[in-house]
Structure 1
Amino acid sequence: MKNLRPVPKPEINTARCTGCGWCVPTCNLHLLSLENLGWKKFSVLSDIDACTGCKKCAVRCPFDAITMRELQG
């Protein structure tokens, strides 16, 4: 049976993200990485469907650039 309850997924605010990388090692599934966009680095979630919604990345971000959003699916 499919889980009908929405799982919160991280949403990264690139305006707040400094590219510090503190969130990257908190993801046990290795779904977060830093990527260049022009001259600046940002945190990027590579596979939103694989994310379990553990919130470790959002808690670890010192700049509040990651918020958890419930996605209907």
Structure 2
Amino acid sequence: MTAPRPSPALPRIDPGRCTGCGWCVPTCHVHLLSLQVSGPEGRKTSTLRDPQDCTGCAKCAVRCPFDAIAMVRRRSPPQG
């Protein structure tokens, strides 16, 4: 059995735009998104755990009503 190929793109979450609404969390079928509390005011933001397991489906970016998630292409490893 071969190892799964990494996705060509990963979600990048803009903490300045993320409101912590959590709408993106249930769209991740591999359960890599969660809400984390940060800062002294206890502000919630979405966080991507284990990016190597992300499938790159972009459902989280599509679902975000605040355009806080953008899909960003992964860098290709150097060939050699």
Q: Normalising by structure 2, what TM-score?
A: 0.83
Determine the structure 1 residue equivalent to 2:18: 17
CA shift, 1:6, in A, is 6.5
Which residue pairs with 1:52 in the alignment? 55
* Equivalent in 55, 65, 69 of residue 68 of structure 2: 65
CA gap 1:31/1:6 in 2 versus in 1, 3 angstroms? closer
The number of residues matched between the two structures is: 72
2:7 and 2:56 in contact (8 A); partners too: no
Aligned residue for 2:31? 30
Give CA deviations for 1:32-54 in whole Å, capped at 9, x if unaligned: 00000022000000011100100
- Give ranges in structure 1 of 5+ residues lacking alignment: none
Runs of 5+ unmatched residues, structure 2: none
Root mean square deviation of aligned Cα: 1.8
Q: Percent identity?
A: 56
